[in-house]
A = this chain, B = another copy of it.
Amino acid sequence: MSALSPGNAAKIIAAKVNEDRLWRRLMELGRIGATANGGVCRLALTAEEIEARHLLIGWARDIGLSVTMDDISNLFFRLDGTDPDAPPVVTGSHIDSQPTGGKFDGAFGVVAGFEALEAIRESGVTPARSMEVVAWMNEEGSRFSPGMMGSEAFTGRRPLKQILAVKDADGVRTAEALETTLAAFPELERRAFGFPMTAFLEAHIEQGPVLEEVGTPVGVVTGIQGSRRFRVSVTGDEGHAGTLPMPERKDALLAALEMIGTMRRAFDVDQIKFTVGLFRLSPNVPSVVPSKAFFSIDIRHPDWKTLRDLGDSVAGLCEQNAGPCAVEVSEIATSESLEFPIEIRECIAEVADELGIANEPILSMAGHDARQLHYHCPTGMIFSPCEKGISHNEAENCNPSDLAAGTRVLAATIAKLAD
């Protein structure tokens, strides 16, 4: 890192982080799939997401980053170090959103990565290791569920075959949608899965209220709260709403509600998060007793033992409350609570301290691609405050200076790890 002392390098790089440019890029990306209520609908592997990929590639050309893509359509943007054979330091997040998502979830981590690499280039500092920004495919899992497909395929944490077979609500397989996305970028060199990394850093909005409440612009993420996700399928029988007596009914809705109500009461422990976000009924007409219900369960808790025990009781509670209906419960994703390595956390905190940016440790309540990368290389996360903790919501909002502070810490940490 030339003759500059590490402390000076951090400050020089941080000074090159341009708050206006960062915000302008965020707003530019936010216009792709923009909703009437100020949010974003940019589902994975859709035309909107392809448009967003073109935007990123345009930025990369402007900055002078080389672009590659792997077989699951993760996009990589590289700034070469002096030793091209050394494993790169990688940062990034995702550009897909929820159907009624905000402009910052995921997008910030990718845009911050571009800003960090541009700042490093402008600083004149050239570390030994190359540095890359990645946009992981389908973190949200709104169209093709569950999400984190890109980071799971890259790290081999989920079999590619299984990922490709997932269907969306219209019956389209991930494999088909992926083909369209891959075909839109024929000029890109194809990258191998699982290439070695020196470290992975993900900048992200907190998606919770803590940092805003304590007035700290940078959160050094200690780990990720675990989660268990289930799908429950209840099968009853159709009947005429006017003629079929109640005792003879096999009402899938009432059975499902009994299950959900029982779990809600049974899972009422401190710090639990219990969410049924997806619920579908069939045939779903007012005058017919419903024959089928299908719903999701998402349980999260910082303590893995608590989460494990509660999750293990899901199938039993559903069966006990199915009444006259049949029920099938499947667990589609299990994520243990994890702790990022202390070396990375200390590195981030030290850089922030050098830059005079207030920071504090924080646990991530949400899952992120960093969860998968944690099992691949030394990994860490940097959180920025978001307004009132609102996320997965069109009203999601952030303070530009907070995002710039997080990006400064990100840029200087990348340079330090790449040195």
* Interface, chain A (partner B; CB < 8 A): 98-100, 140-142, 145-147, 206-208, 225, 227, 229, 237-246, 251, 253-254, 257-258, 260-261, 264, 271-281, 283-290, 296, 298, 300, 365-367, 389-394
List 30 interface pairs A-B (beta carbons < 8 Å), by A numbering. A98-B283, A99-B283, A100-B288, A142-B285, A145-B286, A146-B286, A207-B242, A208-B240, A208-B244, A238-B393, A239-B390, A239-B393, A241-B273, A241-B277, A242-B300, A242-B367, A243-B366, A245-B273, A246-B274, A253-B276, A257-B261, A258-B261, A261-B261, A275-B289, A276-B290, A277-B285, A277-B290, A279-B279, A286-B296, A287-B298
Instruction: Contacts A241-B392, A244-B273 known; list 4 others, CB within 8 Å.
Output: A99-B285, A207-B240, A240-B393, A245-B273
What B residues does A261 contact at CB under 8 A?
A: 257-258, 261
Contact check, B273 vs A264: say whether CB atoms are below 8 A apart.
Answer: no
What B residues does A290 contact at CB under 8 A?
A: 276-277, 279
The answer, among B227, B253, B283, B296, for a CB contact under 8 Å with A242, is: B227
What B residues does A275 contact at CB under 8 A?
A: 241, 251, 286-289
Contact check, A391 vs B208: say whether CB atoms are below 8 A apart.
Answer: no
- Nearest CB in chain B: distance from A303 CB, A: 14
- Nearest CB in chain B: distance from A4 CB, A: 39
What B residues does A246 contact at CB under 8 A?
A: 272-274
The answer, among B239, B278, B365, for a CB contact under 8 Å with A285, is: B278
What B residues does A271 contact at CB under 8 A?
A: 245
Report the separation of the CA atoms of residues A286 and B145 in the bound assembly, to the nearest whole angstrom: 9
- Nearest CB in chain B: distance from A299 CB, A: 9
Q: Output the nearest chain B residue to A284 by Cβ-Cβ distance.
A: B278
- Nearest CB in chain B: distance from A308 CB, A: 17
The answer, among B100, B207, B274, for a CB contact under 8 Å with A243, is: B207
What B residues does A272 contact at CB under 8 A?
A: 246
Contact check, B287 vs A242: say whether CB atoms are below 8 A apart.
Answer: no
What B residues does A98 contact at CB under 8 A?
A: 283, 285, 287-288
- Nearest CB in chain B: distance from A143 CB, A: 9
Report the separation of the CA atoms of residues A393 and B285 in the bound assembly, to the nearest whole angstrom: 12
The answer, among B146, B238, B240, B264, for a CB contact under 8 Å with A100, is: B238
Q: Output the nearest chain B residue to A267 by Cβ-Cβ distance.
A: B246
Report the separation of the CA atoms of residues A251 and B142 in the bound assembly, to the nearest whole angstrom: 19
What B residues does A207 contact at CB under 8 A?
A: 240, 242-243
Known: A238-B392, A275-B289, A300-B242. A257 touches B260 (CB 8 A): yes
- Nearest CB in chain B: distance from A111 CB, A: 20
Q: Output the nearest chain B residue to A169 by Cβ-Cβ distance.
A: B284
- Nearest CB in chain B: distance from A142 CB, A: 5
- Nearest CB in chain B: distance from A100 CB, A: 5
Report the separation of the CA atoms of residues A288 and B140 in the bound assembly, to the nearest whole angstrom: 10
What B residues does A238 contact at CB under 8 A?
A: 100, 392-394
Q: Output the nearest chain B residue to A366 by Cβ-Cβ distance.
A: B242
Report the separation of the CA atoms of residues A246 and B273 in the bound assembly, to the nearest whole angstrom: 6
Report the separation of the CA atoms of residues A258 and B237 in the bound assembly, to the nearest whole angstrom: 23
Report the separation of the CA atoms of residues A394 and B277 in the bound assembly, to the nearest whole angstrom: 30
- Nearest CB in chain B: distance from A106 CB, A: 12
Report the separation of the CA atoms of residues A238 and B208 in the bound assembly, to the nearest whole angstrom: 13
Contact check, A141 vs B286: say whether CB atoms are below 8 A apart.
Answer: yes
Contact check, A225 vs B242: say whether CB atoms are below 8 A apart.
Answer: yes
Contact check, A365 vs B278: say whether CB atoms are below 8 A apart.
Answer: no
Report the separation of the CA atoms of residues A271 and B244 in the bound assembly, to the nearest whole angstrom: 10
Contact check, B289 vs A241: say whether CB atoms are below 8 A apart.
Answer: no
Known: A207-B240, A245-B273, A300-B241. A286 touches B281 (CB 8 A): no
Contact check, B240 vs A287: say whether CB atoms are below 8 A apart.
Answer: no
Q: Output the nearest chain B residue to A254 by Cβ-Cβ distance.
A: B264
Known: A240-B392, A241-B300, A260-B257. A287 touches B277 (CB 8 A): yes
Report the separation of the CA atoms of residues A246 and B246 in the bound assembly, to the nearest whole angstrom: 34
